[in-house]
Amino acid sequence: MAAAGARLCAQTPSQEAVSVDLLITGATIVTMDADRRVVEGGFLAVRGDSVVAIGEQAAIAFPKGVAAAKTIDARGKIVLPGLINGHTHIPMVLMRGLKDDVTLDDWLRKYIFPAEARNVTEDYVRWGSRLALAEMIRSGTTTFADMYYFEDAVAEETKAAGLRGFLGETWLDFPSPDSKNEAEMAAYTEQFLKKWQGDPLIHAAVAPHSIYTCSEKTLRDSAALARKYHAPILIHVAEMQKEFVDSLKTNGATPVQYLDRIGLLGPDVLAAHCIWLEASDMKILAERQAGCVHNPSSNMMLASGVAAVVDQRAAGMRVGLGTDGPAGSNNDLNMMEEMDLAAKLQKTSRVDPRALGAKGALEMATIEGARALHMEKEIGSLEAGKKADLIVLNPNVPNAVPMYDVYSQIVYALKASEIETLIVGGKTLLKDGKVLTVDEAKAMAKAKEYGKQVEASLKQ
């Protein structure tokens, strides 16, 4: 970082100069706006939590000069909208690698649910969240959607770390680490929803886990509570073949038809996976304006199937991208990797390298992810008036030179390790590769302690 911002100004900032909090100069700015504009040698000005100007020459936007409290000289660097991780369970970082290479049903019922019952406390969730938040900050995520237990603790940690979160308290038909029954779930969730109403970063949500772990009553009750508070509903949908086949048998309908029939689908729903869909299901999801989230690492790791992302996008569905996991089904929270895999999985499954390109994958991680959350007016692209959620990447590394096409470079060549700076709502969370808002050393030490505890608990 250097104070080189004034270099681009028409004249030395005068008393009439426009003052901004942050000025980024000289960057290749990949805006992801409606025209998919890429600005070379551009500037971006931030005031408060929003972008106030963006363009090629600060001199034109600020004819009387600009006085910036902070300047980032980003010559030779790439500026991108922050990435949106549409589906994960962040405290599960403390169980990553616990038991891999088994079926989803076995993994859940034989390992994860018992391990969670014996270990997951509010303290566990806090330390898992801190570790995960550091990992997400390092890998470019500025907004994420989460489903877990003690979600209020996830929300407090997310707020402290400075990320934007759509955080869903999980509902299930069996006792969970924070609730013995539905009455307790409802009481915890309602308090959680009330507490975070109107928060600029935290969107408290309700997360009925899935149709295979929730009865119709649980699904209806959780959705009704969410709607009472205008809160998002996060749910796993059509995640595995067994779920699809069982739903046909039990409900006489596909998972999507069933959810639609009971009134659950709407613009406030974020449906993770959406793998086992019929063409008519895609139509329903598009019409209901539900957001969907593709999780290529998870779907490959659990051999759940391949979501027909190309068809879904063509059907008008709002399709974002997520990591899922981070335990047993990924096992990390790296959205840079997820974009790369999303493109390559569609190419492979359709035996067509044109199926999903780098630009499409980046759309899913940014503006389409924002559309899935119905937040496209605020996040997902870099435009004046939208939130200043962005990352700065350094492409001057052996794995990313020369550069012919910026989209191709971002998705197929650059790695999370090239992210130098991450900003959410104008606040810097990662500066020159250092996480400013999470004590990483402490979080890692605690994670190792919890790792030993979890391992011991499964031997009981």
* Closer residue to Zn ion (CB): 298 or 312: 298
The dihedral through the CA atoms of 23, 26, 31, 34 has a sign that is positive
In the complex, the smallest distance separating the C-beta of residue 324 from Zn ion, rounded to whole angstroms, is: 5
Which of 31-65 are b and which e, b meaning 16 or more Cβ less than 10 Å from the residue's Cβ? bbbeeebbbeebbbbbbebbbbbbbeebbebbeeb
| Residue of 63, 68, 72 lying closest to 26 (CA atoms) | 72
243 makes contact with Zn ion (CB under 5 A):
no
In the complex, the smallest distance separating the C-beta of residue 144 from Zn ion, rounded to whole angstroms, is: 12
Written as six digits, the tokens of 392 are: 């700065």
In the complex, the smallest distance separating the C-beta of residue 398 from Zn ion, rounded to whole angstroms, is: 35
* Closer residue to Zn ion (CB): 116 or 324: 324
* Closer residue to Zn ion (CB): 236 or 386: 236
> Helix, strand or coil for residue 210?
coil
In the complex, the smallest distance separating the C-beta of residue 139 from Zn ion, rounded to whole angstroms, is: 18
* Closer residue to Zn ion (CB): 324 or 420: 324
Q: Are 78 and 91 in contact (CB under 8 A)?
A: no
DSSP class of residue 179 equals B
* Closer residue to Zn ion (CB): 238 or 393: 238
Written as six digits, the tokens of 95 are: 């169980």
In the complex, the smallest distance separating the C-beta of residue 272 from Zn ion, rounded to whole angstroms, is: 5
> Which residues, numbered 5-34, are part of the site for Zn ion (CB under 5 A)?
none
In the complex, the smallest distance separating the C-beta of residue 244 from Zn ion, rounded to whole angstroms, is: 16
* Closer residue to Zn ion (CB): 157 or 324: 324
- The site map against Zn ion for 287-326 (x = CB under 5 A) is -------------------------------------x--
Q: How far, in Å, CA of 8 to CA of 422, rounded?
A: 23
* Closer residue to Zn ion (CB): 33 or 324: 324
* Closer residue to Zn ion (CB): 204 or 302: 302
Side chain identity, residue 234: L
* Closer residue to Zn ion (CB): 273 or 386: 273
| Residue of 295, 145, 329 lying closest to 154 (CA atoms) | 145
Question: Chain-centre distance of CA 351, in angstroms?
Answer: 28
| Residue of 435, 458, 453 lying closest to 141 (CA atoms) | 435
- The site map against Zn ion for 320-349 (x = CB under 5 A) is ----x-------------------------
148 — phi, psi (to 5°)?
-160, -160
Q: How far, in Å, CA of 43 to CA of 23, rounded?
A: 7
Cβ atoms < 10 Å from Cβ of 246: 14
In the complex, the smallest distance separating the C-beta of residue 204 from Zn ion, rounded to whole angstroms, is: 18
Q: Are 158 and 201 in contact (CB under 8 A)?
A: yes
DSSP class of residue 410 equals I
- The site map against Zn ion for 160-199 (x = CB under 5 A) is ----------------------------------------
Side chain identity, residue 166: F
In the complex, the smallest distance separating the C-beta of residue 250 from Zn ion, rounded to whole angstroms, is: 22
First to last CA, the chain: 53
In the complex, the smallest distance separating the C-beta of residue 426 from Zn ion, rounded to whole angstroms, is: 31
Q: Which residue is nearest to Zn ion (CB)?
A: 324
Size of the site for Zn ion (CB under 5 A): 1
319 — phi, psi (to 5°)?
-115, 110
In the complex, the smallest distance separating the C-beta of residue 178 from Zn ion, rounded to whole angstroms, is: 18
* Closer residue to Zn ion (CB): 324 or 389: 324
Give the footprint of Zn ion on this chain (CB under 5 A). 324
